[in-house]
A and B are shown apart, each in its own frame.
Chain A
Amino acid sequence: MRKIDIKQQKFETPREKDLLRHLISTSLKYKLWIGLLIAINLVGMYAYYRQVRFGLIVTAMRDYTSWGIYISNFVFFVAISLVGSLFSSILKLNNNVWAKPLIRVSEIIAVSAIICAAVIIIIDMGRPDRFFYVITHFRIQSPIIWDVIIISTYLVISFLLLFISILPDIAVCRDRLTEIPNWKKRFYRITAINWSNHPKQAERLNKVSKIMGIAVLPVAFAIHTVTSWLFATTWRPGWNSTNLGPYFVSGAFMAGAAAIIFAMYIIRKELKLHAYITEDHFDKMGRLLVLLSLIYLYFNINEYLGPAFKMVGIEGDQLSELFTGQYAIMYWFVQIGGLILPLILLMFKVMRKPFPIFLISLSVVLGAWFKRYLIVIPSLQHTYVPIQQVDESYLHYIPTWEEWAITISSFASLLLLITILIKLFPVIPIKSEEHDSETIVEPNIK
């Protein structure tokens, strides 16, 4: 598939060669992929141009369903971005050595997802031209301001985490890669910020990465908890719940882990990293996903059982709409396809092989997206005051092509960011042995 012309390029070790070769050569497949993503983004931009020109009227949102798939997409991206902290904090601080090759993938996904979340929330605004009012006129008691603060904090921390982990490898790129264009050489020279692999530097970096690993944890929990408070601070059925914070966080970890498995599979296949991302990694990730699913299952039951047992008022109406009404198909797909089935299947070792677990994690990610649709939209359609005397279009919510185009292009942007970051930097740490105090276990090559 990929023809690598690395005759002129000298590598010191096979590890370097394996991890750096995709930075030098660009395949046709890669170009087509980038072209496709850009094309999707262009369509999305045209849709957004229409939205700016004509207003949010081009969406299917109306006075009752006043938030739509932009907001559910925003919640989804925030959820996905949480996975960065899972790897660079929870697994790392617990000395899960096997997870080390996956840390950078998770950080790349985290940074990309949180950038997309920030963009999608601006797209949802009726007056994006007044975005800076949230800084110039901010009022601290609004949960939106908390969200703005915590998202920007998380963006900075996850960017730093990514940069810290990548820094020694940038130096490797700067020192070793000779057969690359000059702009790329300059790029590595600047971004390596004079990294010389001096023991003192390494020690300092190690310290910083530990501090950041601890610092990111409360911020990561806060980012999704605060996002849940955007909903939990209102009276809407399904939102008016004290369970929402942990529910969101546990769901996010599960969705994020599935996204990592998905990304692992693609990266392993496309970059031929079978020796570095092994079947053992998939097996371990599968076990981890089972654990995370169980936690999510617990909060999921806790979320629905109380109100479903009572089944009264608008809460009851909203739940019966989910269980047996117009959202039933989506609801049961989310619960069964996105949670129950993956949970059961992944208990079997054969399902934790790369390809089956890839399909399962795809189902989990899709379920996670539609779950956020179900969190946002049906709740808004069940109001204390009966919905009467409004235009027919106010009663339903079927996203318009503009909304889909923008949503799909937000996914395309996410993939584009991830692809570019992977193309610019080695996706698996080359230098980790040198700056890490703990000994890294060499990947078991099968």
Chain B
Amino acid sequence: MENKNSKIDSRRKFLKNISSGGILAVAGLGLYSASSCKEKSEEKTTLLTTDGKLVQVSNSEIIKMEGMEHHPATPKEAREGIPGQKFVMVVDLAKCKNAKKCVESCDKHHNLTPDRPYIKVLEMKDNEKSAPYWMPKKCFHCDNPPCVKVCPVGATFKRTDGLVLIDNERCIGCRFCMAACPYSARVFNWGAPPNVDENLAYSPETSLPNKIGTVSKCDFCPDMLRKGKLPHCVPACPNGVIYFGNELDDTVTNGEETVRLSTLLKEKAGYRFMEELGTKPRVYYLPPVDRLFPFESDTKENVKS
């Protein structure tokens, strides 16, 4: 997901990153564009060839590879992580203006109603004197997940690629994981979920179809990840707030620019929410300094979004 069709300067940054890191080129092998928002035929996509050269190909010439189509992973398959991956997310709080496009796209793809989204854009204020800021919050996919520890039946599990998923066909609905999660990341299907597509084969990787009486949460869209694409919220963000990538490659992309994870965290003083709990989240935040947008309190219009 590191190669991108794009605006000139983000490509420049991208190329700079390429030249500074050999690992990136290796990581790019065989992966094709993560583009999901701009699919016009006149646009071009930058691809990495097997010998490490960058080439530009018109989007119309890109053909879907045979065998790249994945059926949604069965509950058993979904317990195996994607090999060679360790997913990580970085959220740049300086860029978030509470547009809520991430929430919308997440709700749409996970068949959620606006009253109980997986993603919440929270209005935060660290102390009386400091300025308020917006904090998009999903599941942190902790490396030391309290929710997985307490599950009595192994319905929620940690994968080798870092994801914490839920098998809704295993979940008994005891809601202990909801009590255990200090970040209130989990939601429950209290009633019959609306608009359920009964023909859909259930997969913990899509969290669809939603199942009554079970717990659910942000899953980092592993069905997209298997296809080499980004989770729905990442390209949906108009301001490039959310970076997503592979920790093993040390790269993250927000769909427009691809950067080295370590550099990003180092230069922008990345942190994890409530580090002191020791849950080791896989989601990092960049502090809301030098903001792109002034903070505007939540108005009724954008609450409804």
CA distance A124 to B213 in the complex (A): 10
Interface size on B, residues (CB 8 A): 45
Collect the chain A residues with CB atoms within 8 Å of residue B170's CB: 130, 133, 137
Q: A66-B179, A126-B173, A144-B176 are in contact. Are A235 and B146 (CB under 8 A)?
A: yes
Q: A55-B191, A385-B122 are in contact. Are A141 and B149 (CB under 8 A)?
A: yes
Residue B159 interfacial (CB < 8 Å): no
Option from B121, B137, B154, B172 in Cβ contact (under 8 Å) with A126: B172
Residue A176 interfacial (CB < 8 Å): no
Q: A139-B152, A142-B149, A389-B303 are in contact. Are A55 and B182 (CB under 8 A)?
A: no
CA distance A221 to B215 in the complex (A): 32
Q: How many A-B contacts if CB must be within 8 Å?
A: 138
Contact between B180 and A233, CB atoms less than 8 A apart: yes
Q: A54-B191, A63-B184, A235-B182 are in contact. Are A127 and B173 (CB under 8 A)?
A: yes
* Docked complex: B163-191 residues within 8 A CB-CB of A: 170-176, 178-180, 182-184, 186-191
Residue A266 interfacial (CB < 8 Å): no
Residue B23 interfacial (CB < 8 Å): no
Report the nearest A residue to B167, measured CB to CB: A137
Contact between A142 and B150, CB atoms less than 8 A apart: yes
* Docked complex: A374-427 residues within 8 A CB-CB of B: 380, 383-391, 394
Option from A59, A61, A141, A144 in Cβ contact (under 8 Å) with B174: A144
Collect the chain B residues with CB atoms within 8 Å of residue A57's CB: 190-192
Q: A56-B190, A391-B115 are in contact. Are A139 and B179 (CB under 8 A)?
A: no
Contact between A63 and B154, CB atoms less than 8 A apart: no
A347-385 contact mask (Cβ, 8 Å, vs B): 1 or 0: 000000000000000000000000000000000100111
CA distance A385 to B277 in the complex (A): 13
Contact between A148 and B172, CB atoms less than 8 A apart: no
Collect the chain A residues with CB atoms within 8 Å of residue B137's CB: 385
Contact between B183 and A56, CB atoms less than 8 A apart: no
Contact between B174 and A126, CB atoms less than 8 A apart: yes
Shortest beta-carbon distance from A105 to chain B in Å: 33
Report the nearest B residue to A52, measured CB to CB: B213
* Docked complex: A110-155 residues within 8 A CB-CB of B: 124-127, 130-131, 133-134, 137-139, 141-145, 148
Q: A66-B175, A137-B170 are in contact. Are A390 and B116 (CB under 8 A)?
A: yes
Option from B123, B153, B173, B182 in Cβ contact (under 8 Å) with A137: B153
Shortest beta-carbon distance from A22 to chain B in Å: 41
Shortest beta-carbon distance from A198 to chain B in Å: 46
Shortest beta-carbon distance from A103 to chain B in Å: 35
Contact between B190 and A61, CB atoms less than 8 A apart: yes
Shortest beta-carbon distance from B120 to chain A in Å: 5
Q: A125-B174, A131-B172, A386-B122 are in contact. Are A142 and B214 (CB under 8 A)?
A: no
Collect the chain B residues with CB atoms within 8 Å of residue A142's CB: 149-153, 176
Residue B274 interfacial (CB < 8 Å): yes
CA distance A409 to B183 in the complex (A): 35
* Docked complex: A30-48 residues within 8 A CB-CB of B: none
Contact between B153 and A134, CB atoms less than 8 A apart: yes
CA distance A67 to B188 in the complex (A): 11
Option from A137, A143, A236, A388 in Cβ contact (under 8 Å) with B154: A137
Residue A64 interfacial (CB < 8 Å): yes
Contact between A126 and B120, CB atoms less than 8 A apart: no
Contact between A389 and B117, CB atoms less than 8 A apart: yes
B269-282 contact mask (Cβ, 8 Å, vs A): 1 or 0: 00000100100000
Q: A131-B172, A142-B151 are in contact. Are A236 and B213 (CB under 8 A)?
A: no
Residue A185 interfacial (CB < 8 Å): no
Collect the chain B residues with CB atoms within 8 Å of residue A302's CB: none
Collect the chain B residues with CB atoms within 8 Å of residue A390's CB: 115-116, 120
Collect the chain B residues with CB atoms within 8 Å of residue A389's CB: 117, 120-122, 298, 303
Contact between B184 and A144, CB atoms less than 8 A apart: no
Contact between B303 and A148, CB atoms less than 8 A apart: no
Q: A131-B172, A142-B149, A142-B152 are in contact. Are A62 and B190 (CB under 8 A)?
A: yes
Shortest beta-carbon distance from A365 to chain B in Å: 26
Contact between B123 and A63, CB atoms less than 8 A apart: no
Contact between A55 and B212, CB atoms less than 8 A apart: yes
Q: A55-B191, A55-B192 are in contact. Are A139 and B151 (CB under 8 A)?
A: yes
Residue B201 interfacial (CB < 8 Å): no
Residue B62 interfacial (CB < 8 Å): no
A182-207 contact mask (Cβ, 8 Å, vs B): 1 or 0: 00000000000000000000000000
Collect the chain A residues with CB atoms within 8 Å of residue B152's CB: 134, 138-139, 142, 144-145, 148
Collect the chain A residues with CB atoms within 8 Å of residue B265's CB: none
Residue A326 interfacial (CB < 8 Å): no
Collect the chain B residues with CB atoms within 8 Å of residue A324's CB: none
Q: Which B residues fall within an 8 A CB radius of A?
A: 115-117, 120-124, 137, 146, 149-155, 170-176, 178-180, 182-184, 186-192, 212-215, 274, 277, 298, 303
